[in-house]
């Protein structure tokens, strides 16, 4: 089991190692987050903690959301996320979680919503091959058959067809932490992560490292 942090993707850049090799990196601003709720097997049938990120005005939340946070006298948060843990007794409401718990060289999983590509066709969305390009052919970028005729007389759900591409939750696993700037809550990781600059990201790190 693992827990993690919420943060914001700042953008991508590159750094150079001692041999002069360029390393593509992504800059993330993670936390600080506060533990807003603790769940255990006795009360909720499973062990987990809920964390809050990005404080906002109280008027931005509903009465139910405010009541949930006011139980533990916590500030208002725009984002709440739950992480499964093995030992919820190690945490308490209001406990801060920061990048100080992450170590350089550790591996983390980063989740976010991928960039939307809009409405796309079969070749771009599902990597279909095109039809012949010879003269007279009318099947250059068409999908071909999408199902039988009279029976069943319909298209089955889940058929690979044209439609919206991207804008879905995507997780990149085992990204290496290159550097940490704890004063600014900055973490620099090797490689790319889903989403564009400014999107909300969720990372998971091993509980033993927190």
pLDDT confidence bin for 2, thresholds 50/70/90: low
pTM over cut 0.95: no
Please, what sign has the CA dihedral across residues 175, 177, 178, 181? positive
* Structural domains of the chain sorted by starting position, each given as residue range(s) with its CATH number in brackets: 2-115+170-209 (2.40.30.10)
**For 64-90, b where at least 16 C-beta lie within 10 A, e where not — what string?**
eeeebbeeeebebbeebbebebeebee
Tens digits of per-residue pLDDT, 42-90?
989 999 999 999 999 999 999 999 999 999 899 999 999 999 988 888 8
Express as a percent the part of the chain with pLDDT over 70: 97
Q: What is the pLDDT at residue 210?
A: 46
What is the pLDDT at residue 3? 73
Q: Mean pLDDT across the stretch 158-176?
A: 94
Query: How confident is the model at residue 52, as a pLDDT?
Result: 96
Q: Give strand pairing partners of 97.
A: 33
DSSP string, 156-179: PTT---SEEES-SEEEEEEEEEEE
CA angle centred on 35, ends 32 and 2, rounded to 5°: 90
Closest C-alpha among 10, 98, 92 to residue 53: 98
CB-based burial label for 118 (10 Å; 0-12, 13-18, 19+): exposed
Residue 205: the pLDDT is 84
């Amino acid at each position: 089991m693992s827990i993690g942090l919420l943060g914001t993707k700042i953008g991508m850049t590159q750094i150079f190692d001692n041999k002069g090799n360029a390393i593509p990196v992504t800059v993330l601003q993670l936390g600080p987050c506060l533990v807003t709720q603790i769940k255990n097997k006795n009360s909720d049938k499973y062990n987990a903690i809920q964390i809050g990120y990005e404080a906002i005005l109280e008027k931005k939340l509903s009465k139910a959301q405010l009541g949930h946070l006011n139980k533990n006298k916590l500030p208002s948060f725009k984002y709440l996320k739950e992480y499964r843990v093995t030992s919820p007794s190690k945490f308490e409401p209001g406990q801060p979680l920061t990048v100080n718990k992450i170590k350089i060289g550790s591996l983390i999983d980063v989740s976010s919503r991928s960039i939307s590509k809009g409405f796309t066709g079969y070749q771009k969305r599902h990597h279909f091959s095109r039809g012949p390009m010879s003269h007279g052919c009318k099947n250059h970028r068409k999908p071909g058959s999408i199902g039988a005729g009279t029976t069943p007389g319909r298209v089955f759900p889940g058929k690979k067809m044209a439609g919206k591409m991207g804008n879905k939750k995507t997780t990149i696993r085992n990204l290496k932490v290159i550097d940490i700037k704890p004063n600014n809550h900055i973490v620099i990781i090797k490689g790319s992560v889903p989403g564009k600059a400014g999107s909300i990201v969720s990372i998971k790190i091993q509980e033993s490292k927190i």
